[in-house]
Every structure is written in C-alpha cells, then in structure tokens.
Structure 1
C-alpha cells in the first residue's frame, strides 16, 4: 500500500505541478494537463457560434485546444462528443497578426479602416478574412491587406463561390469546417469602431450558419463586448440561441487543482492518486480523477483541508480556508481566473517553504494570505494588457481606501487628467503611418472605453467589467484581486504591503 504524501512532498507537488501548468499556459495546453470542466462542454460544440468569457476564463485556451487534433481528441473523449473528431479548425483571427499569419494585426486594421464609414466596409473586411482562412487562391496570392479588402469589395460573387466550394468539400468529407475568432478586444483602439467590427463579424458568422451546411464560425468574446456590439441585422436574435458561457465554479477551480496534481509526472503525484483512489489511466499518460474529487465540494473540502488545513488561522474566526481562498481571488462579478487561482496556490507553497517549513500543512494560512499580493499583481498586469484604460482609471485612485464615494472618484480622475490620458492611449494605439509601421507590432491594451469623457459612464463600465463593485449605500468598492496591486486599502481587509 502506497503511503500518503508527506507535507514536504505535498509542497513539492504543488510547486512543480502548478509551475508547469503556468508555464504551459504561455504556449498552450497539453493532453496530460488538459482539464475539461463540465460547464465548458457547450463551448466546444461546433454549432455554438458565440462563446462569451471574461479575461482569464479560457477563451484563448480553448481556441488553441480546438486547433490541436490531439487536444480535440481528449475533449471528444472527456465530453463524449465524437463530432469533435470530424471537424477541421482554422484560425480566422487572433493576436499576433503579421507577415507569417493569415490575419491582420490591430495596426493594419486601423490603417484599413482609416477614413471609412458605414457598416458595409466592416462586413467586407470580414469576408476577406474568411476567404483568407478558407485559403481561396485569388485572395491569398494578394500580398497586401488593403488590396485584399479592395478585391473582396469588387468581387462579391467570389465570396459566395468560395463559401459554396468550401461547404461542398466539407460535406463531401463528412467534416464540419470551423473558423475560430479570438482576441476581439485587440481589433481596434476606438471602442465604437471595435463594436462595429464585432457586430459585422456576428453577421458574417450568422450567415455562415444559416446558408451553409458544414461551415461554422466560433467567436470567443468578452461579455461586455458582446453586449455593446450593435445587433440591428436580420436574425440577430439567433445569436443568443447559439451561445455558451465560460464560467468557473468553485468546484471547477478545485477540480482543476486536483487534476493537475494528479497528472504531474513525479512520484508525489502517484502517492496523491493513491491517497484519493479511483483515478483511471487513459491515453497520452493522462489520469482522470474520480467524480467526487472533481465535482463533490464536500470531498473537495476534505482534500484541500489535507493541503491547507481547515481555517485561515488558529480557529474558525478567520474563515474557512476552502471558501476563503476563491472568495478573495474573485472579481466584482464573482469570477476567478484559473491562472490567478493556480498562481496564488503555487506562491503560497513557496512562501510556506521559505517561512513556515515546520507547519503541519503544505500551505500556511499566512502564506495564502500573502500570496494574494502576487496574484493581484499578475491580474492587474493582465488588465493592463487587455483593458489598459481600466487599469489607467484605477491607478488614479492609488493610495486611497475603499469604499469610495463616486464624487471622490470623479474628483481624482479630474485632478489626474484621466480623460486626456485615455485619449492619448487611444491615439497611440491607432498607430501612425511610416517605415517603422512596416514591422507591424501589435499594440496592447485592448479597445478603449465607450465614452472616455464621461466619468459616470466610466464607473458603470468598470462595474460591468467586474473591476469595481457598488455597495447598497452607493459607495464604490474594489475586489482584493485588483485592490492590492493598486495599493488601495480596506478597513479589516487583507492589508496592503508596507
């Protein structure tokens, strides 16, 4: 009989397994560590057109997984979805566009649309993108995106012909041809233009679904961008009927943790699997946890208790560890990023090893509390990359304390010149013509706010994003996962670093 992991072995396992998972996140998932939460099954269905998910919920993760045949096979088995074995997946749009990729970068899009008006040009742009994804010779041999869009505009019948040919080819082979669209927050710096682009993409995607038998689009999009994109085109209501949400419940987060621990390749993982029996070995060396470890919170609480103890202190007055950790990592919408979750636990293991080596559990409660600072820093870095304007707005409140009255927030933004800062960010992100632009670097920071000059609208948008929350008294609060990195205090909350 295999002995249970020791405290040191648990710390080693957490540090190594979660470290590999976080490193792999940069390059994409792999079959062993691919976790398939039950709530994400619908998102992979080829007939689901729109997949909504906040930052860090898995949009790009699943986009990458769908492209990879080995990962699709894992998902097909896990979700009992054999249709995933009969799909051909191509990326229609993602970040990193350049000379080696078939989709344009943010700066190229800005140049393409500069001085244009009307919805039609946005549709034409996406038709050109679709034809590139379908590898239509007439357009792929055109070297410049401006000429490709112009050609698509002048040859409307060519688009219909390309769809018919690709549809017949896919149906003849028994496949579904799926075109993936991700990173839409990096389409354009101007929010109104980005919204029009997203709206046009929805229309093109819906047309694919309604007019072809085997061509489908799958669009990964933030909820706020989905909501703000105009939907004044025919059959727009059908988008909602073909939509999935990427959410992570508490049981999903713990299921992810235990799946990664059980799929590490060291001897500690073998002991972990033996301690909580019922794991089954599959192909690619992947182990599947028993259902109660993945989906039963009572069982999960017992397993996590063996790692971190029951309480966030010496007794229950400081809170129960099982609920305390995810509660303090969630944003204003109650969402926890899996990456933030894993990073916090890995950091807690490292801090415990450094400062509390004699502690009877692998994770010390003070180390867990301290790990929130690192998780917050990473979460804010992600916010800067994807929604740069939101990070700039909260930075103006640095050094304060929540809850804050809206009048105080308005005053701080006015004093700090936030409106000018946001407009400068938008102008910088548009890019300028010139030789250096040929390198076509993809600017970060996502699209801007809906109205940079309206502080009331900014607050509402930050609440919609989950960056701010509103109390019943009208005061504005900031979740710990953002508050700590911005050096904003809260009476009785996790303290700022001194």
Structure 2
C-alpha cells in the first residue's frame, strides 16, 4: 500500500466515524440534516393533513422526521423528489408548524406533572384539559385574545395554576380556538401542532404516560373533524401506541385507522446508509460513486437512485469485503450488517445501523493495520463495534426505560442466553420489590407489569427479548452486550 492510499484510507475512516451524531438525530448538526435525512414515501404520509398518529419504534426516525420538517422546513424539497404524497400547501406563508411537546420550560417537568397527577387524582378527561390549556398557550401568538391572559400568565411548569385559569375561561377559550380555525380557513392557511417524545412525560410512570397519551388522542379525536385548519401530528413509540390503544376505545380507533407507520425496509436502510456516507465528505462521496449511482439535489445533496437492496451490495462489499471472515460460512457481509442489529421482532432501524459503521470505522482507524485498498473496514472491527453499539443502545434507552439498569443487575445471575422461560421468570421475580435503579435508589422507578411474567412479555413485545420457536427466551445482539449477557457457546470478540 502506498503512503497516499494509507492517508486516503485514514481520511475516509475519519469521515465515516463522524457521518452522524453517534447515530442520534437529537444531536445532528442542523446544517447537515438536509443532506442526511432519507425521505421514505410511507413516512411522508405523516404530513397528510388528515393523518394525526405517526407510529414507530425507538430509533425509527420520528425525531429526525420531526426536525426535518418543523425545524428545517424541508417539506417542499422532499415533496419534489417523492411525488404522489398528499401534503398541505408548501408555501411558507400558508403552513406553519408549531411544537406542542416538547416545549422546554413552557410545559411541566416530569416531577411537576407527576406531583400534579397524584394530588388531583387525574384521569383521561383531566388530561384533555391539560392538553387544551397548553395548546392555547402555544397558539398565543395566533389567538391574541385579551380575555385569555390569565391562561398565559402562570409559569409553564405550574400546571395547577394553568389548569385553574383554563377552567375559569374554558368557554371563551374554546370559542377562541373555533374562531382561529375559521380565520385560518378564510386566509387559506394551516397550523400543525406536533407532539413528540411523549414517552418522556413522566419518567418511570408508564400508567401516567398512557393516561396522558389517551387524553391527547381524545382531544384530537374530538376536534380533528371540528377544526379543518388547526391540525395535529402525534408521534408515538410503537409499544406506547399499542398499550394506550388497548384502553383507548373509540377515540384511538378513529385516529388509528388512518395512522402513518414509520417502518424501514432493508432497501431504505441501505439507501439511508449510502446517502449518509456519500454526503459526509467529498472524497467519501467519490468512493461511494464507484459502486452506487446518485442524483444531485441542490438542497438535499446526493440521493441514491438505486431501487433494490441488492444495488447497494457492491458498495458495502468494496468497503468491508464479501464475507465476515475467510469464506461464506462466516457470514455474508451485506446481510450481516442488518441482521445483527435487528431487535427481537426482526426490525432493523437507522440509529444502530449508522452507529455500527461509525464505531467500526473508529476501531479500524485506531488499530495497528489497515486492510488492503479499496477495503476500509475489516470484519473483526465490525464485530467489535457491535458490542459497543449494544452498550450504547441500552444506555440511550435509559431515558425511556430507566429500569433497564435494574434489569441488567438481575440478569447477571443468569448471564448466558438462551433461557428456559421458567428460569428467567424466577430470576426476575426474585427481589421484585427492590429498587430497579442501579446503583440502588429510593426513587420509585418500576418496570412495566406487576410481575416478572408480565415484564418478560413486555420485553418480548418491544424487542428487547425474543421468544424462540422451542419456547426458550433469547436476547438479540442489539441488546446482548448492553445487558451484560453472552450467548452460550459463542466466540468472544477479538
């Protein structure tokens, strides 16, 4: 290998290692987002004016979709390259996107909301009023009704004062919203209120979160037909949607019938990875163009024009090689990339896919040798990266599932998978009432379910565990190292 080739490999590896923000859309550079966001046609149904619920699992791209449209205003550029999707008017002066949640200090923290719920004996109907009151507050600039000043005066975190003021002005408040909708219609404008990260409303209190979600859905199920120009977009994690819908009744059924699902086919995942690689760095873009055809867009950058998963195989085989070892028995690289980041339901998602390549490039760059050009990453670096991705994936999930540390601590007693169902139930039931935070804490964090058996069912439902055909319980590679587990008979990473 020449010095020039070695320097180029190092440069390309550095570009791959920083092609995303550790795979998290929340930390993505806003200037780079237009060149990394991959527009999946089904996902864009989320912006059909009549679609309210947008459902997807952790890491499916809900936040990135939210940022691309609401923060970056990319809908016109995206619509130009993905025709056939029903969208609101794309002119900036006719459509306005407003965040309904999260809205920082203008909404109560999870401690404030938790305290309010316990003191007021809240139910779904009370949460309808909570969401209505805070809807009025985020629409203050549009309504401009002096009779509603009392609703705007309390601090956003003082939920009791906000609700009290709303109840005292409820009739005027509802008339003001009706009047705003009529004015928007007369002016041929739309307002979209978007709600994201609802699973963070009350940390570790899933029953309160589901109650709040049912209240939000109840509000918009009632008013979506009433208001034609004030519309909403509610982004829900799949498991939260399913559990809330089970007790949501007719309100959920109305909105669920026309929901948008954020699912990812393998083709779209490979296209997303190729697009991120090509737009991360000019030289890396040239490297990718040798094997994949791209179209140049002035706003969105390089867009792969390939239409099948197999069209991306030459790129990843050029980068890593065709096999995960000496021959096919070690695994085909192209399949391995996604198969080893699938959750227990068989779903592979963008966040761990991006992070796997980033981490592998970083490990390869810091190693003692580089593969022969044009290879950039050796299979052993990819295998080592998988453990790192698993640990980071579990860590990133703690905001939504803070009890995972308690789960990991308990699983250390039976750290090799797969397990017989009775063994895992028995292991988790032991010390069930002890703290589920680690190190131990007095904070009242509890896992979902009232018993170990219910918890295991939930873990299977969300893909942390997987039920095998022989009845045993397994853990996918995506969570294996993060939970401190090993596969029985497995070979350690070099």
TM class, shorter-length: 0.7 to 0.9
Partner of 1:454: 451
Q: Which of 324, 332, 335 does residue 347 from structure 2 map onto?
A: 335
Indicate if the aligned counterparts of 1:469 and 1:478 stay in contact, CA closer than 8 A.
yes
Partner of 1:436: none
Q: Secondary structure at the match of 1:158?
A: helix
Partner of 1:437: none
Indicate if the aligned counterparts of 2:405 and 2:437 stay in contact, CA closer than 8 A.
no
Indicate if the aligned counterparts of 2:404 and 2:436 stay in contact, CA closer than 8 A.
no
Partner of 2:136: 131
Deviations 1:300-324 (A, max 9, x none): 1122111111111111011100011
Indicate if the aligned counterparts of 2:387 and 2:481 stay in contact, CA closer than 8 A.
yes
Matched, 1:111 2:110: no
Change (3 A) 1:320 1:32: same
Post-superposition offset of 1:242: 2.0
CA-atom RMSD, angstroms?
Answer: 2.7
Taking the TM superposition and a 5 Å limit, the aligned residue runs for 1:428-467 are 448-451=446-449, 453-467=450-464
> In structure 2, what is the Cα distance between the partners aligned to 1:152 and 1:116?
15
Q: Which of 60, 65, 78 does residue 63 from structure 2 map onto?
A: 60
> In structure 1, what is the Cα distance between the partners aligned to 2:298 and 2:186?
30
Matched, 1:272 2:267: no
Q: Secondary structure at the match of 1:211?
A: coil
Post-superposition offset of 1:22: 1.8
Matched, 1:46 2:58: no
Change (3 A) 1:427 1:91: farther
Indicate if the aligned counterparts of 1:390 and 1:462 stay in contact, CA closer than 8 A.
no
Change (3 A) 1:247 1:233: closer
Q: Secondary structure at the match of 2:74?
A: helix
Partner of 2:125: 120
Partner of 2:255: 239
Post-superposition offset of 1:78: 3.0
Post-superposition offset of 1:53: 1.1
Q: Secondary structure at the match of 1:407?
A: helix
Post-superposition offset of 1:277: 6.4
Partner of 1:357: 370
Indicate if the aligned counterparts of 2:190 and 2:229 stay in contact, CA closer than 8 A.
yes
Matched, 1:183 2:207: no
> In structure 1, what is the Cα distance between the partners aligned to 2:185 and 2:21?
39
Matched, 1:19 2:33: no
Deviations 1:225-259 (A, max 9, x none): 11211545545422222211112222122111111
TM-score (structure 2 length as normaliser): 0.87
Q: Which of 97, 121, 124 does residue 89 from structure 1 map onto?
A: 97
Post-superposition offset of 1:173: 3.1
Post-superposition offset of 1:155: 2.6
Structure 1: gaps of 5 or more residues = 431-446
> In structure 1, what is the Cα distance between the partners aligned to 2:47 and 2:181?
20
> In structure 1, what is the Cα distance between the partners aligned to 2:80 and 2:152?
36
Post-superposition offset of 1:493: 3.9
> In structure 2, what is the Cα distance between the partners aligned to 1:8 and 1:332?
40
Indicate if the aligned counterparts of 1:18 and 1:342 stay in contact, CA closer than 8 A.
no
Indicate if the aligned counterparts of 1:280 and 1:289 stay in contact, CA closer than 8 A.
yes
Matched, 1:396 2:410: yes
Taking the TM superposition and a 5 Å limit, the aligned residue runs for 1:21-40 are 21-22=20-21, 25-28=25-28, 29=30, 30-40=33-43
Partner of 2:428: 413
Post-superposition offset of 1:462: 0.7
> In structure 1, what is the Cα distance between the partners aligned to 2:176 and 2:486?
58
Indicate if the aligned counterparts of 2:269 and 2:350 stay in contact, CA closer than 8 A.
yes
> In structure 2, what is the Cα distance between the partners aligned to 1:8 and 1:389?
45
> In structure 1, what is the Cα distance between the partners aligned to 2:276 and 2:267?
14
Indicate if the aligned counterparts of 1:489 and 1:496 stay in contact, CA closer than 8 A.
no
> In structure 2, what is the Cα distance between the partners aligned to 1:195 and 1:427?
24
Change (3 A) 1:248 1:10: farther
Deviations 1:303-359 (A, max 9, x none): 211111111111101110001121111111122231211111122123233244144
Q: Secondary structure at the match of 1:329?
A: coil
Change (3 A) 1:425 1:129: farther
Post-superposition offset of 1:389: 1.9
Q: Which of 360, 378, 384 does residue 348 from structure 1 map onto?
A: 360
Q: Secondary structure at the match of 1:163?
A: helix
- Size of the aligned set, in residue pairs, is 467
Indicate if the aligned counterparts of 2:406 and 2:438 stay in contact, CA closer than 8 A.
no
Partner of 2:212: 197
Taking the TM superposition and a 5 Å limit, the aligned residue runs for 1:135-154 are 135=140, 136=143, 138=148, 139-143=151-155, 144-154=158-168
